[in-house]
Amino acid sequence: MALLAALALGPAAPDAAAATAWTVDPARSQLTFHPRLAGGEFAGRFERFDATIRFDPADLAHSSLLVVVDLLGARTGDTDRDTALQGSDFFQTTRWPTGTFASTGIRSLGDGRFEATGKLTLRDVTRDVRVQFRFDPAAPSGSAARMIGSANVRRLEFGVGQGDWRGTEWLDDGVRVEFDLALRAAR
């Protein structure tokens, strides 16, 4: 469920030198997940993640996103649920402690909105995922920005949900992952 854990946004390609390199301010950024359990939605967050972002709205061909999420840092505010997320029914973090999203392409949707296509890997399973986001420059100098977006992940495609959780009677297959990243241009 901490699914998008992998929202791991995408690798910097060797020719990504033209796009601006951005660093993420972890104190002002967040990566959350929103599963539905027994008909009601709850929220969780990934406390630790790292992102390598090269992005220029005017040079999408050289832009890329790579996000690596520490699945051990998945927190929902419920100790039992947090422990279950680490176990073999969900992330099985003893075997696969991270989730990764690596972009394979980015396109403009207009009005400051973009869509990154890429590969999400969870539990050693890789699937194509689309991530929609806004890129909002926060400073006239171009030295700061926010990247805010979301993706929908089908947890069962990644084997997240084994045993009693393999079905959707209690826990929906779809999990919405959201992020709000405070960025500073690397100099």
| 67-84 tens-digit pLDDT | 999 999 999 999 999 999
Q: What is the pLDDT of residue 62?
A: 96
Per-residue pLDDT averaged across 13-32, rounded?
Answer: 81
CATH number (domain holding residue 70): 2.40.128.110
Which amino acid appears at position 101 of this protein?
F
Say if residue 6's pLDDT is above 80.
no
Which amino acid appears at position 181 of this protein?
L
What is the C-alpha R_g of the chain?
16
Both structure tokens of 168 = 């959707």
DSSP 11-32: PPPTTGGGSPEEEE-GGG-EEE
Ranked by mean pLDDT, which of 7-21, 23-37, 94-108, 161-175 comes out on top? 94-108
Q: What is the DSSP letter of 72?
A: G
How many domains does the chain divide into?
1
Domain containing residue 72: 2-185
How many angstroms separate the first and last alpha carbons of the chain? 36
Say if residue 13's pLDDT is above 60.
no
pLDDT range class, residue 42, cuts 50, 70, 90? confident
Q: What is the pLDDT of residue 4?
A: 37
Both structure tokens of 125 = 């399973």
Place of tokens 């539905």: 36
Asked if 10 contacts 102 with a C-beta cutoff of 8 angstroms, the reply is yes
